[in-house]
Each structure stands twice: as structure tokens, then as C-alpha cells.
């Protein structure tokens, strides 16, 4: 009489293997979908390219940009944002003026709606510029920021291509807010917390 037990055991093992494979495939698919949703709608990595945000952000630093925040609120003055400057290039700059604001710089002093505004995040560069006998920010304006637009500038005012050159940017070009510097690790910080 033939013994069929090994075949039966193999048949019992195969469905378990198929089930396990199916579970792994489902988990992988869910992970891919979650990664896509997180990257598209919640957070995105960004690499600082250049020195236009010095001394507060440095070339090659890596950031996490929060995208979701601007589904619920609009950017506010002093926030550091990432936006689409061109079809294939994103910029990182600081919001100086929002829709309805009048922006002007006279004698290295920023004025919003004719009121002087302190910029503590520029103190280091301002001191250095004044020691060299030059203003950090050359006079410009007044510029009226249209509704639905932002006026942005880099913190390194003498070396930044920003709204003084490219004009105001529309809110629909904003990618998100630069919330976390995560690389290099010893520079980990929250760049927008310093202005609140």
C-alpha cells in the first residue's frame, strides 16, 4: 500500500506559502502607496542649493518640507518656504510680504506697510555688511504685493535671486514650509521656529 502523506503535507504547505507571499505583496503595495501619498501631499525632502539663505541655511543642507500646512493656512511673513521658481527648479526663500502688503527697504531698514520691521535672523550678516561700510539690503520699492501673491527674499540679501529680480510669486507655486533641517545631523534644527 502506497503512502500519500508527504504529498498531502506539501499541499498543506503550498497554500501557506501562497498566503504569505500574498500578504507580503499587499504590505509592499500599501507601503508604496503610503510613500507616494506622503511625498505628494504631506512632506518632501529638499536640498539647499547655494548660499542665498546664509547664514540661516547652508549649501547642501537637507530639509523636510511640510506640504500639508498650506492646504489649511497661507504662508505668513518670516516663514521659510520652498516654491516652484521655474518648471524644473525650486527656490527656498523667506516670506517678506503677503498679499496686500507694501514692501520697501530704505537705508537698510525693511518697511512693511510703512512700519519698520525688525529682522533678527539677519543680525549676523547686517553687522558684517555694516563693518564693510555697505548696506546688507539695497534700497528698493515701495512694491505693492498683489492679493494671492508673496514677496520673498533670501537672507543673504547681497547674493539672492528673489522677488526683487523675479517679482512676486503666486500662492499656487508654493510647495511647502521648510520645517526641519535633518542633515548634517549635527545641524539638526527647526529653521522656522527661530522667527516665532
CA–CA distance, 80 with 69 (Å, rounded to integer): 13
- Annotated catalytic residue: which of 18, 67, 93, 170? 93
pTM for the predicted model, two decimal places: 0.74
- Annotated catalytic residue: which of 17, 26, 52, 170? 52
- 154-144-50 Cα angle (round to 5): 10
Q: Decide: helix, strand or coil at residue 79.
A: coil
At 53-93, the pLDDT tens digits run 888 888 889 888 888 888 788 899 999 999 998 888 889 99
Amino acid at each position: 500500500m502506497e503512502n500519500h502523506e508527504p504529498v498531502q503535507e506539501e499541499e498543506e504547505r503550498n497554500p501557506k506559502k501562497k498566503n504569505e507571499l500574498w500578504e507580503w505583496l499587499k504590505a509592499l503595495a500599501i507601503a508604496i502607496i503610503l510613500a507616494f501619498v506622503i511625498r505628494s501631499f504631506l512632506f518632501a525632502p529638499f536640498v539647499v542649493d547655494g548660499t542665498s539663505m546664509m547664514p540661516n541655511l547652508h549649501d547642501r543642507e537637507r530639509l523636510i518640507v511640510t506640504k500639508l500646512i498650506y492646504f489649511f493656512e497661507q504662508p505668513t511673513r518670516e516663514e521659510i518656504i520652498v516654491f516652484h521658481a521655474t518648471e524644473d527648479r525650486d527656490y527656498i526663500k523667506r516670506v517678506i510680504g503677503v498679499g496686500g502688503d507694501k514692501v520697501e527697504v530704505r537705508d537698510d531698514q525693511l518697511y512693511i506697510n510703512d512700519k519698520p520691521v525688525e529682522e533678527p535672523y539677519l543680525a549676523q550678516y547686517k553687522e558684517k555688511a555694516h563693518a564693510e561700510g555697505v548696506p546688507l539690503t539695497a534700497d528698493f520699492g515701495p512694491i505693492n504685493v498683489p492679493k494671492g501673491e508673496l514677496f520673498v527674499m533670501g537672507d543673504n540679501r547681497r547674493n539672492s535671486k528673489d522677488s526683487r529680480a523675479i517679482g512676486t510669486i503666486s500662492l499656487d507655486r508654493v510647495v511647502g514650509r521648510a520645517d526641519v533641517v535633518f542633515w548634517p545631523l549635527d545641524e539638526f534644527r527647526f529653521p522656522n521656529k527661530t522667527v516665532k
